[in-house]
């Protein structure tokens, strides 16, 4: 009952992932490939965390 209002950490990470990918796209459009690679790597770490949490759930 008390878990009803708990926020889902996966949803929060999915929002963060989408935001990072949008930022990476904008950086790429600007021509800064190094910054794009760094932002993409950061987004990939978040995606891995999402997968880990999804696999952890029963």
Q: What is the pLDDT along the chain (58 residues), one digit of tens a residue?
A: 566 667 888 999 999 999 999 999 999 999 999 999 999 999 999 999 999 999 987 6
- How many CB atoms sit inside 10 A of residue 33's CB? 10
What is the predicted pLDDT for the residue at 7? 81
Q: Structure pTM?
A: 0.83
pLDDT of residue 58: 64
Report d(CA 17, CA 44) in Å as an integer: 8
Q: Are 46 and 16 in contact (CB under 8 A)?
A: yes
For position 23, what pLDDT does the model report? 97
Q: What are phi and psi of 9, to 5 degrees?
A: -65, -25
């Amino acid at each position: 009952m008390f878990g009803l209002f708990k926020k889902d950490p996966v949803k929060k990470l999915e929002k963060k992932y989408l935001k990072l990918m949008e930022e990476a796209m904008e950086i790429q459009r600007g021509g800064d490939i190094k910054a794009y690679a760094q932002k993409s790597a950061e987004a990939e770490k978040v995606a891995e965390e999402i997968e880990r949490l999804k696999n952890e759930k029963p």
